[in-house]
Amino acid sequence: MFDEVVEEFLEYIDGAELIIHNAAFDIGFLDNELSRAGSQYGRMADRTTVVDTLLLARERYPGQRNSLDALCKRLGVDNSHRQLHGALLDAQILPDVYIALTSGQEEIGFGDVQAAAARPVAVTRFVAVAGERPRIGVHPDEASAHLRRLETLRKKAGRAVWDMAVESPPVVEPVPG
């Protein structure tokens, strides 16, 4: 039952930005569950911001089908493993749809998948714990590349949006091995 996990759920999403396809549908259900659990929990809008990929798709592709399957096909996102509709499957393909939908992300380095695959990867295992969310260390090479990319963007555009979104510089921790 939702009332058994409401505290843990709200702790997890507090202050987060959620990316949801057809957010009005999901947020409506969550708001209903929150109201049933008690008025002290408020509404989702009190705790998080939401980006609705369906609304983004309707702006970018007015008058076209903008289901998740249609977007996968249009944007070249592989959803061949998606046989049935399901929240977990949708959550697995939505990040790729979002990146493709918001476009221009190739320009800031997110589009070169093969180059990314060639870089060393730090593997982090997440364990659900009460308290602070886990912090992920950044490989020093990736941190340097990130800072170089920001400088390029600042020179090209006069500023980098990242500067407005980040209060402090990224945490750089050496990756063992």
- Who's near 54: CB < 8 A, 6+ residues apart? 21, 22, 23, 66
Whether 86 and 127 have beta carbons less than 8 Å apart is answered as no
- Across-strand partners of 20? 52
Q: Give the CA diameter of the chain.
A: 53
Query: Could you tell me which residues are beta bridge partners of residue 16?
Result: none
Q: What are phi and psi of 78, to 5 degrees?
A: -75, 115
Please give the positions annotated as active site: 85
| One-letter identity of residue 160 | A
Query: And the tokens for 23?
Result: 């957010």
